[in-house]
Structure 1
Amino acid sequence: MITVSILAKIRRMHFRDGFPIRDIARQTGLSRNTIRRWWLREPTTGEPKYPKRVN
């Protein structure tokens, strides 16, 4: 599960430190697609929304 602190870490690593997505993926353990989704497509740093589970 992605938390706000992980989102902040991803943004900080890219914008402040200049790391490419590949290095961020290695260091956080998240996939590159996940990082791309939360880094590029989400302009705000709010809590991610997940679909409700259906049992």
Structure 2
Amino acid sequence: MRRKLTGDDGDRQMVKILAAVVDDGLTAVEAACAEALGQGVHSADVILNILARRREPPPPPAIPTPQSLTLLHMPLADCARYDQLRRTA
């Protein structure tokens, strides 16, 4: 990764990547670097984004609806009813 980060900003980007090792661990940062290089991207921001996406918790499981709260009759979309209410106001 270091060879890809060239120019004036290369050192700064490498420091950002190495600083992520403290929070995410070396194996996670190494895997994020490999993924970024596999996609042809070599930016610290991309690597930090990959790490952040992996850090996000999975969505909570769906809560089952009790039988007493299920709908017996599905609501009907009746736009004419709303038009009628608007005319009387």
Please say whether Structure 1 and Structure 2 have the same fold, judged by a TM-score greater than 0.5: no
Which of 1 and 2 has greater Rg? 2
Structure showing greater relative contact order (alpha-carbon pairs closer than 8 Å, 6 or more residues apart): 1
